[in-house]
């Protein structure tokens, strides 16, 4: 036997003569008896435990507004301890609004009496009946429709007047001081009536009329901009808040902003993919007529809880796509061109930080890596704060043509050297679309993201290599903020790596040890000026010269050792030795 839930049991006890059919309990309305004129209507209570509106009641005669069990109990002056969901420790705060002495209740009744068949027909096109209009006290002043904003004390002090043919033509009528410094809510009383239950928030009063016609609770703001200003605290005693806004970018952004403040209880009703832009509930009701109710309930049922997390489906698809990309040729070609280094790191992926002593060849090492990747049509952005664009191109041309700087500037090249130089110049010109040097000292993370977007668009590539020469010369406010500025940049690089699938090669300085010397044995603590490298770097490398700086021996016999001192996925240790390829501004891996 199916167990009866507390809310269903509560209503059965209060309405013993009620009849339950299709999860709806119907009984003579206990509130109609107190109303003069006409016979008592039927009260309907939604008792589907799987519905967000489980426990919501409404009178078919509309003798009172609908609500949930706590509101039902207060209307009947019941012992609140017997009501499901009652919390005796819950403290309710007054709105803190000081209302004027004079109200416009009489004017609202007068405006209601001015409604003509033309106005009723205007609303009937969207399926809104006279009974709904009377319940919401909608009126007409001879030119504008009048929507009264009833306050929590039951009085109306201000109404919004809207031209039926030009909704943008509107104004506030009444005491406009009430609208100062607060967001006005049309039918705001439904918030208290829906305690522990669900409520729908829409923009525009006409849209709310379609919700009330369906027999559901809701409130409206007069514009999408007002949604963002709604205080989340006003809805703290509700279990679920549905946001159903117009199908426009501004409205949907405003709904997400409000949902962020409301947290887990917010559910955004999403328009189907084929829906035209700027659609609204009124247009949907007008277009669908008899099937509007079915469509609306389906869209409400399909509304998903707003969450700061991506959906599990999206997470899996992103993971699956990334896995496929990492198995593709483009991912596997992210190589430095140095076989031992590529074996040690599994290719150039993630954030790779290279430290080294001054003049050890760090820039030369990365210029060679960058240009070799660009030659294989891998987009590379080289942020240079050390050498200048001209030196980078010149050193690249020396290495590719096997000519020294002096020979590049000489007019006495032989035929073979001239042929090599021209071929190298043509090759440099060919791969420059994949190799962009940036020397802007006003660089910011936002500008870096735009650079990455541009080069990907231009080269039609999924991956990008970003080289920073060097970490300690990235722009930040002043020298007193150097440490925090570097750490902040590292956080930004992590975000760009994860969001855009970008790989980084970053040059860093090393700290001097005792006696103002550099450590002979490289380790993670050797890096200068930041403790965050150990947390940010996927791979931390150190390039150390294995030669005496005062040695006057042949430059082409100088050897540097590259060490992997820390890695998220690979074993630390010596990677390889590199011979300086003098005078061609390059290295040979031994």
CATH number at residue 281: 3.40.1360.10
Same domain, 538 and 407: yes
Which residues sit opposite 158 in a β-bridge? 149, 174
Residue 315 lies in a domain: no
Give CA–CA dist 67/237, Å, rounded.
13
Same domain, 147 and 241: yes
- Cα–Cα distances in angstroms (integers) from residue 543 to residues 343, 414, 509, in the given order: 17, 37, 11
Measured between alpha carbons, how far apart are the two ends of the chain, in Å? 80
For residues 267 and 360, membership in a common domain is answered with no
Residue 97 within any structural domain of the chain? no
Residue 65 and residue 156 in one domain: no
3-state secondary structure of 505: strand
* Alpha helix ranges (H) inside 306-381: 312-326, 329-332, 339-345, 362-375
Shared domain for 552 and 498, answered yes or no, is yes
Same domain, 497 and 550: yes
| DSSP 8-class letter at 565 | E
Q: Answer whether 199's CB lies under 8 Å from 190's CB.
A: yes
**In-domain check, residue 452:** yes
The answer to whether residues 408 and 357 belong to one domain is yes
Give yes or no: residues 429 and 540 share one domain: yes
> What CATH code is carried by the domain that includes residue 71?
3.90.580.10
Give domain status of residue 288, yes or no: yes
Q: What region, left, alpha or beta, does residue 573 occupy, with left being phi > 0 and alpha being psi -120 to 50 degrees?
A: left
* Contact present, 178 and 158 (Cβ < 8 Å): yes
Specify the DSSP class assigned to residue 34: G
d(CA 6, CA 73): 14
Which stretches of 258-367 are assigned E, i.e. beta strand? 266-268, 304-305, 351-356
Task: Report the C-alpha dihedral over residues 247, 249, 250, 254, rounded to 10 degrees.
Answer: 80
SS3 139: strand
Residue 474 near residue 357, CB atoms below 8 Å: no
Burial of 311 by CB count in 10 Å (0-12 exposed, 13-18 middle, 19+ buried)?
A: exposed
Distance CA 421, CA 416 (A): 9
The answer to whether the CB of 69 falls within 8 A of the CB of 85 is: yes
What are the phi and psi torsion angles at 136 (to 5°)? -90, 0
Owner of token pair 């016999």: 557
Cα separation, 120 vs 102, whole angstroms: 30
Closest CA to 191 of 63, 87, 70: 70
**Which residues fall within 8 angstroms of residue 202, CB to CB, at 6 or more apart?**
208, 211, 218, 219, 220, 221, 244, 245, 281
Tell me, yes or no, whether 284 and 371 share the same domain. Answer: no
Decide if 541 contacts 348 (C-beta within 8 A): no
* Strand order across the beta sheet in which 573-580 lies: 435-438, 380-384, 464-469, 502-509, 351-356, 539-545, 559-567, 573-580, 587-589
Residue 236 lies in a domain: yes
Q: How many domains does the chain have?
A: 3
Each of the 590 residues of the chain gets a pLDDT tens digit; together they read 355 799 999 999 999 999 999 999 999 999 987 665 667 789 999 999 999 999 999 999 999 999 999 999 999 999 999 999 999 988 876 666 788 899 999 999 999 999 999 999 999 999 999 999 999 999 999 999 999 999 988 999 999 999 999 999 999 999 988 888 889 999 999 999 999 999 999 999 999 999 999 999 999 999 999 998 999 999 999 999 999 999 999 999 999 999 999 988 999 999 998 899 999 999 999 999 999 999 999 999 999 887 766 677 777 777 777 676 666 666 677 899 999 999 999 999 999 999 988 888 999 999 999 999 999 999 999 999 988 999 999 999 999 999 999 999 888 899 999 999 999 999 999 999 999 999 988 899 999 999 999 999 999 988 899 999 989 888 876 544 666 788 889 999 999 999 898 999 999 888 776 665 665 666 666 676 555 677 889 999 999 888 765 566 676 678 999 999 999 999 999 999 999 998 999 999 98
Residue 567 included in any domain: yes
Yes or no: say if 166 and 114 are a contact pair by the CB < 8 Å rule.
no
Q: Which residues form the domain of 251?
A: 105-305
Cβ neighbours of residue 480 closer than 8 Å, sequence gap 6 or more:
none
CATH number of the domain bearing residue 560: 3.40.50.300
3-class secondary structure for 157-219? EEEEEECCCCCCCEEEEECHHHHCCCCCCECCCHHHHCCCCEEEEEECHHHHHHHHHCCCCEE
Same domain, 243 and 371: no
Both 301 and 350 in one domain: the answer is no
Q: Please check whether residue 318 lies inside any domain of the structure.
A: no
Same domain, 376 and 450: yes
Q: pTM for the full model?
A: 0.62
């Amino acid at each position: 036997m199916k167990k009866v839930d507390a809310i269903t049991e509560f209503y059965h006890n209060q309405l013993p003569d009620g009849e339950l059919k299709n999860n709806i309990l119907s009984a003579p309305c206990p509130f109609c008896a107190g109303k003069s004129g006409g016979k008592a209507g039927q009260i309907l209570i939604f008792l589907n435990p799987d519905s967000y509106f489980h426990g919501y009641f409404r009178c078919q005669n509309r003798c009172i507004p609908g609500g949930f069990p706590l509101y039902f109990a207060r209307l009947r002056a019941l012992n609140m301890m017997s009501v499901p969901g009652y919390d005796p420790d819950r403290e309710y705060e007054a709105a803190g609004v000081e209302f004027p002495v004079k109200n416009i209740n009489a004017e609202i009744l007068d405006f209601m009496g001015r409604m003509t068949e033309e106005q009723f027909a205007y609303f009937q096109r969207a399926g809104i009946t006279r009974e709904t209009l009377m319940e919401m006290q909608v009126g007409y002043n001879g030119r504008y429709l009048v929507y009264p904003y009833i306050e929590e004390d039951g009085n109306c002090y201000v109404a919004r007047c809207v031209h039926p043919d030009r909704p943008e033509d509107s104004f506030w009528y009444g005491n406009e001081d009430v609208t100062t410094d607060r967001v006005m809510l049309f039918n705001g009383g439904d918030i208290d009536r829906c305690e522990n239950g669900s409520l729908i928030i829409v923009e525009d009063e006409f849209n709310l009329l379609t919700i009330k016609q369906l027999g559901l609770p809701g409130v409206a703001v007069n514009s999408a901009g007002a949604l963002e200003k709604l205080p989340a605290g006003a809805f703290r005693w509700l279990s679920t808040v549905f946001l159903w806004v117009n199908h426009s970018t501004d409205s949907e952004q405003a709904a997400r902003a409000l949902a962020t403040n409301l947290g887990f209880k917010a559910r955004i009703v999403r328009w189907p993919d084929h829906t035209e832009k700027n659609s609204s509930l009124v247009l949907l009701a007008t277009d669908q007529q008899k099937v509007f109710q079915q469509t609306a309930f389906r869209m409400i049922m399909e509304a998903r809880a707003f969450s700061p997390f991506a959906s599990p489906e999206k997470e899996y698809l992103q993971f699956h796509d990334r896995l496929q990309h990492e198995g593709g040729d483009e991912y596997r070609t992210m190589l430095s061109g140095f076989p031992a280094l590529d074996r040690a790191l599994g290719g150039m992926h993630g954030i790779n930080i290279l430290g080294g002593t001054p003049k050890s060849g760090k820039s030369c090492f990365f210029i060679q890596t960058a240009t070799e990747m660009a030659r294989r049509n891998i987009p590379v952005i080289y942020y240079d704060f050390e050498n200048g664009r001209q030196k980078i191109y010149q050193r690249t041309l020396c290495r590719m043509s096997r000519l020294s700087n002096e020979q590049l500037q000489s007019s006495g090249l032989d035929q073979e050297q001239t042929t090599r130089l021209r071929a190298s110049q043509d090759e440099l010109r060919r791969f420059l679309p994949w190799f962009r040097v940036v020397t802007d000292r006003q660089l910011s993370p936002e500008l870096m993201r735009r650079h990455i977007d541009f080069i990907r668009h231009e080269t039609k590539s999924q991956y990008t290599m970003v080289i920073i020469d060097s970490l300690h010369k990235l722009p930040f406010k002043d020298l007193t903020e150097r440490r925090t500025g570097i750490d902040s940049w590292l956080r930004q690089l992590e975000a760009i790596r994860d969001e855009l699938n970008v790989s980084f090669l970053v040059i860093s300085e090393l700290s001097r040890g005792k006696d103002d010397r550099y450590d002979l044995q490289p380790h993670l603590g050797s890096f200068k000026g930041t403790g965050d490298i150990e947390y940010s770097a996927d791979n931390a490398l150190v390039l150390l010269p294995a030669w005496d700086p005062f040695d006057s021996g042949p430059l082409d016999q100088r050897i540097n050792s590259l060490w992997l001192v820390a890695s998220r996925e690979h074993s630390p240790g010596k990677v390889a030795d590199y011979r300086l390829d003098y005078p061609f501004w390059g290295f040979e891996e031994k």
